């Protein structure tokens, strides 16, 4: 089975489970647009995925295979065993994505791209797919460079991509997890209640909780707010209108 098939099967499985969970244990916050946001949100990720496959057909996994075949990168130089290199690859790539996320909030031209993600006025699993294609391309180049520099084992890169996609869907899901369970999970992973703070329209809340998979990075690097999300206004001022929630306005938003 190919890497792309494995990733697609994992993505569809996690998405189906979370969409079902959003019906069974919903986050009790009104979402008047609801499923009408799905077409543009899914449309963006489909466009990004197709163009990545066209422009960078082997992407990060291909870079890891290339580094492995030529003995390039840290883990290859150290001859690190797979049982060590694979989990380290996952953790280090997660740390990299944390810092990439922070940079996209700080650099104005990158924020204009990332703002497309934050401009969703509601949150559900589909929000975890809503990234401008140019941001997806840039992120892939970052992961390609990291895979080569680390000499990351291809299995570790595939595992990280699956985990990253699943985490993005999970933390944006409109689900209600029992408070004690969510508090316990929040010590290890980013939960929906934690990540909702990051989608607040208030700048001091938006500029916090940058983690995607592991929550420890926010604690280590000072971006942890130390409280659970309560009543929040989601989205970005000026971009919450229904007319903004279509594929074309989302694609052109960074340039307007």
What is the rounded distance in angstroms from the CA atom of residue 151 to the CA atom of residue 124? 35
What pLDDT band is residue 174 in, cutting at 50, 70 and 90?
A: very high
**Contact between residue 145 and residue 139 where contact means Cβ atoms under 8 Å apart:** no
Q: Give yes or no for a contact between 15 and 126, defined as CB atoms under 8 angstroms apart.
A: no
Condensed to tens digits (0 to 9), the pLDDT of residues 133-151 reads 999 999 999 999 999 999 9
Q: Is the per-residue pLDDT at 2 higher than 80?
A: no
Band the pLDDT of 227: cuts 50, 70, 90. Answer: low
* Cα dihedral sign, 214-216-221-224: positive
Average pLDDT over residues 193-198: 92
Q: Is the pLDDT of residue 57 over 60?
A: no
Residues in Cβ contact with 226 at an 8 Å cutoff, skipping those fewer than 6 apart: none
State the average pLDDT for the chain.
Answer: 91
Q: Where residue 1 falls among pLDDT bands split at 50, 70, 90?
A: low
Of the pLDDT bands very low, low, confident and very high (cuts 50, 70, 90), residue 118 is: very high
pLDDT given at position 6: 83
pLDDT of residue 30: 81
Give me the pLDDT at residue 231, please. Answer: 73
Look at residue 55 in the predicted model and tell me its pLDDT. 58
Q: How far is CA 56 from the centre of its chain?
A: 19
What DSSP state is assigned to residue 234? Answer: B
Residue 73 burial by CB count (10 A; 0-12/13-18/19+): exposed, middle or buried?
buried
Q: What is the mean pLDDT of residues 59-79?
A: 93
Of 36, 38, 34, give the one whose Cα is nearest residue 46: 38
- The residue-averaged pLDDT of 156-183 equals 94
Q: Which is more confidently placed, 60 or 99?
A: 99
Least confident of 1-10, 17-26, 88-97, 219-228: 1-10
Q: Does 96 score more than 70 pLDDT? A: yes
For residue 43, pLDDT beyond 60: yes
Is this model's pTM higher than 0.75 or not?
A: yes
pLDDT of residue 66: 94
Look at residue 36 in the predicted model and tell me its pLDDT.
Answer: 85
pLDDT value, residue 230: 59
* pLDDT at residue 229 tops 60: no
Q: Sorting pLDDT into bands at 50, 70 and 90, what band is 161?
A: very high
């Amino acid at each position: 089975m190919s890497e792309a098939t494995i990733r697609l099967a994992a993505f569809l499985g996690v998405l189906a489970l979370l969409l079902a969970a959003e019906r069974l244990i919903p986050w009790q916050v009104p979402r008047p647009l609801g499923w009408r946001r799905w077409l543009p949100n899914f449309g963006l990720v489909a466009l990004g995925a197709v163009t990545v496959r066209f422009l960078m057909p082997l992407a990060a996994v291909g870079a890891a295979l290339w580094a492995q075949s030529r003995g390039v990168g840290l883990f290859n130089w150290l001859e690190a065993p797979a049982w060590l290199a694979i989990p380290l690859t996952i953790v280090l790539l997660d740390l990299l994505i944390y810092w990439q996320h922070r940079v996209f909030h700080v650099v104005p031209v990158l924020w204009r791209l990332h703002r497309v993600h934050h401009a969703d006025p509601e949150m559900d699993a589909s929000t975890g797919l809503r990234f401008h294609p140019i941001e997806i391309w840039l992120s892939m180049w970052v992961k390609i460079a990291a895979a080569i520099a680390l000499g990351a084992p291809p299995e570790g890169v595939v595992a990280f991509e699956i985990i990253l996609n699943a985490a993005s869907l999970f933390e944006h899901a409109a689900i209600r997890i029992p408070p004690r369970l969510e508090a316990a999970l929040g010590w290890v992973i980013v939960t929906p209640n934690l990540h909702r703070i990051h989608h607040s329209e208030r700048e001091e809340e938006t500029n916090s909780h940058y983690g995607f998979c592991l929550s420890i990075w926010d604690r280590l690097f000072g971006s942890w707010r130390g409280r659970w999300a309560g009543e929040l206004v989601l989205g970005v001022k000026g971009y919450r209108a229904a007319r903004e929630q279509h594929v074309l306005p989302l694609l052109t938003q960074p340039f307007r």
